[in-house]
Amino acid sequence: MQLNKAEIHFIRKWDKTKVRGQWRYILTRGLLWGVLVGIFSKLFQSWDKLKAWDTAAIADAYASSDFLIRLFIYSAIGLGLHAYHWNSNTKRYNQLKNIERRSQAMANATHE
């Protein structure tokens, strides 16, 4: 069985990601996801204030403890999601590398 272009691309990309490390992957992506979701969810919650250009109310909303709790919760969810992604991508990577090794071994055996 040969790997297709998407699988080969995934292997190359994941090789580079693995070199940077698991914690860097989880922290950078998970925290970024959590902060963005937290900001946008608060923005959508304050939509009426935003349409009225009530900048003081919006600033107060982002300075509230509710917003900080929201950031913490979404960041924790983001960390968990990206830890799961790391594990599933590593499993997929290992499966594809095994297929690649077997196909190379078969190719070498037919050439000999």
- Mean pLDDT over the full length of the chain: 90
**Helix residue ranges per DSSP H, the chain:** 5-20, 22-45, 47-51, 55-62, 65-111
Over residues 57-97, the pLDDT tens digits come to: 777 878 888 899 999 999 999 999 999 999 999 999 999 99
CA quadruple 27, 32, 33, 38: dihedral sign: positive
The Cα–Cα gap between 84 and 79 comes to: 9
Q: How far apart are CA 71 and CA 56, in angstroms?
A: 20
Is-above-0.85 flag for pTM?
no
